[in-house]
């Protein structure tokens, strides 16, 4: 049952759907939200499990979506997660299904999620030093994250990827240490340039640790050569470490944007389509769902939402405006 695809006016087709299941989180990373947290979405605004699954079904069956990644906030806080994963992986064609998580509680749920059909996990972890972890996340939970990573690997949710952000003066001296730690445990590490998506609007281009600086730091201890596999629309540039087989990825979202190959579209926990991480407008699908629109009408609205997607994020433009919603409400 195909109606078409999610094509924008630049010819890019979105096949990778990021679904935020909640805007809540149990960490308070300084680059994401203030210590006291945020005003969370009212419960009635958040899509129900049935509503989320219906939108995913429309995206997969009618709009050509091939990959579904659950995000947050922290998606493990969503009570119905395993059931949503199960119903997603029962769709045909079966989408590749993953989550981006901080791994708190994953030691208890990894097996259930794998049995529900989850394919992979990406875990956010910026340091393996307890004091620095506490400084960044404002919580003393490093051991839980490490246990969650191990459980994910044991449950077969691999390759387990670790996403790290380097912050100047906080953990920017720890890139080689983190890479060694990940390689010893067979986790695939990717460094991500910090993007202006924090609720406090504290990001600055000058303070951001750039991909170039990350390479420089890694090259003090490792030999890096571009990996052979083609990058395609994947955001990470991959490098073989010391001749391989281990690799490290660098996602230079700010200094070397990959928007020209973008294949992503986002759905917020309250049912808004965002055609770009940095979109300033959203398209309301929850309203359509709740006012009785049929699948074809929702698909049509979703396709229309893609037509205003801009060519890129424009972070370097003088006219750049940070989105009004923070990362925790958009989904990473």
Q: Using CB under 6 A, which of 69, 86, 190, 264 touches ligand SF4?
A: 264
What the block records as the tokens of 229 is 């596999």
> Taking the complex as a whole, how short is the minimal distance between the CB of residue 40 and ligand SF4, in angstroms?
24
259 is a site residue for ligand SF4 (CB under 6 A) = yes
258 is a site residue for ligand SF4 (CB under 6 A) = yes
Q: Using CB under 6 A, which of 24, 246, 313, 325 touches ligand SF4?
A: 313
Rounded Cα gap, residues 40 and 127, in angstroms: 27
Q: Using CB under 6 A, which of 276, 288, 298, 327 touches ligand SF4?
A: 276
314 is a site residue for ligand SF4 (CB under 6 A) = no
**3-state secondary structure at position 192:** strand
Contacts of 86 (CB under 8 A, 6+ apart): 116, 117
Q: Using CB under 6 A, which of 262, 269, 298, 305 touches ligand SF4?
A: 262
Rounded Cα gap, residues 294 and 127, in angstroms: 47
Q: Using CB under 6 A, which of 32, 56, 82, 277 touches ligand SF4?
A: 277
Question: Which residues in the 218-257 window bind ligand SF4 by CB under 6 A?
Answer: 257
Contacts of 45 (CB under 8 A, 6+ apart): 270, 286
Contacts of 283 (CB under 8 A, 6+ apart): 272, 273, 275, 301, 302, 304, 305
What is the dihedral angle through the alpha carbons of 313, 317, 319, 325, rounded to the nearest 10 degrees?
Answer: 30
69 is a site residue for ligand SF4 (CB under 6 A) = no
117 is a site residue for ligand SF4 (CB under 6 A) = no
**3-state secondary structure at position 69:** strand
Q: Measured from the CB atom, is 148 or 257 closer to ligand SF4?
A: 257
> Taking the complex as a whole, how short is the minimal distance between the CB of residue 317 and ligand SF4, in angstroms?
12
- Please report, as ranges, the residues that interact with ligand SF4 according to CB under 6 A: 257-259, 262, 264, 276-278, 312-313
């Amino acid at each position: 049952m195909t109606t078409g695809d999610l094509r924008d006016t630049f010819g890019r087709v979105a096949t990778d759907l990021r679904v935020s299941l909640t805007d809540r989180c149990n960490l308070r990373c300084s680059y994401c939200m203030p210590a006291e947290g945020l005003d969370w979405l009212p419960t009635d605004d958040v899509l129900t499990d049935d509503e989320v699954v219906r939108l995913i079904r429309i995206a997969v069956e009618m709009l050509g979506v091939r990959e579904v990644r659950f995000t947050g906030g922290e998606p493990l806080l969503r009570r119905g997660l395993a059931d949503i994963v199960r119903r997603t992986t029962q769709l045909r064609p079966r989408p590749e299904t993953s989550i981006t998580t901080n791994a708190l509680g994953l030691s208890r749920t990894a097996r259930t999620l794998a049995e529900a059909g989850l394919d992979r996990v990406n875990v956010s972890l910026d340091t393996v030093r307890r004091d620095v972890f506490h400084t960044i996340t404002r919580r003393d939970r490093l051991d839980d994250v490490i246990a969650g990573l191990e459980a994910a690997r044991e449950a077969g949710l691999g390759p387990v990827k670790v996403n790290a952000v380097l912050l100047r003066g906080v953990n920017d001296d720890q890139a080689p240490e983190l890479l060694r730690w990940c390689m010893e445990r067979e986790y695939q590490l990717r460094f991500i340039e910090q993007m202006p998506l924090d609720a406090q609007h504290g990001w600055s281009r000058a303070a951001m640790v750039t991909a170039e600086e990350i390479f420089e730091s890694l090259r003090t201890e490792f030999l890096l050569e571009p990996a052979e596999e083609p990058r395609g629309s994947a955001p990470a540039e991959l490098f073989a470490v010391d001749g391989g087989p281990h690799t490290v990825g660098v996602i230079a979202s700010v200094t070397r944007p990959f928007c020209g190959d973008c294949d992503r579209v986002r759905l917020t926990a309250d049912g808004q389509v965002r055609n770009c991480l940095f979109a300033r407008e959203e398209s309301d699908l929850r309203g359509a769902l709740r006012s009785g629109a049929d699948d074809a009408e929702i698909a049509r609205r979703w396709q229309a939402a893609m037509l205003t997607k801009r060519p890129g994020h424009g972070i370097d433009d003088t006219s750049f405006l940070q989105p009004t919603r923070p990362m925790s409400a958009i989904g990473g």
